[in-house]
Amino acid sequence: KPIFVLNGPNLNMLGLREPAIYGTDTLEDVRKRAEVRAEALGLSIDFRQSNSEGELVTWIQEARDDAAAIILNAGAYSHTSIAILDALQAAELPVIEVHLSNLFRREPFRQHSYVTLAAKGLICGLGAKGYELALEALADLLAQARR
């Protein structure tokens, strides 16, 4: 089964959006880096983005049967969405939370994330590299689970 790499609202604007915070890589660049890394680790990924909270919830529900794990950058919904948290808890899969920016040197309202309550780990502040590191962590976790 693939790892679902799910991206939330405004991440389609990457590269154009506040480059001082988020850098100039586009989401397509992030996807390519993640694809290359996944292939090197012997993993497959299903990389998606949605601006809609409901669509993210539906994808997380789908992951329960169709994915081995979830990497999630829920964007601003991380800070607001109990619905996404509930879906993650129902999915019963390893979840790694990723954010491009370092939430802890930003506004206080970004310093709480509902996603964290369902996440094995959290990577933030390392840009696109965070997705690669999340894949590495999952490669180990999934190999351990097979043992």
Residue 100 labelled as part of a binding site: yes
Opening angle at CA 86, ends 55 and 106, nearest 5: 80
Q: Are 120 and 142 in contact (CB under 8 A)?
A: no
Stretch that binds ligand DQA, among 44-52, 58-66, 73-81, 133-141 (CB under 6 A): 73-81
Is residue 99 involved in binding ligand DQA (CB under 6 A)?
A: yes
Q: Exposed e or buried b for every residue in 117-147, given b needs 16+ CB within 10 A?
A: ebbeebbbeebbebbbbbbbbbbebbeeeee
Residue 37 interacting with ligand DQA (CB under 6 A):
no
Q: Which one of 110, 126, 136, 141 is in contact with ligand DQA (CB under 6 A)?
A: 110
Residue 12 in contact with ligand DQA, rule: CB under 6 A: no
Is 110 part of any known ligand binding site?
Answer: yes
List the catalytic residues: 22, 99
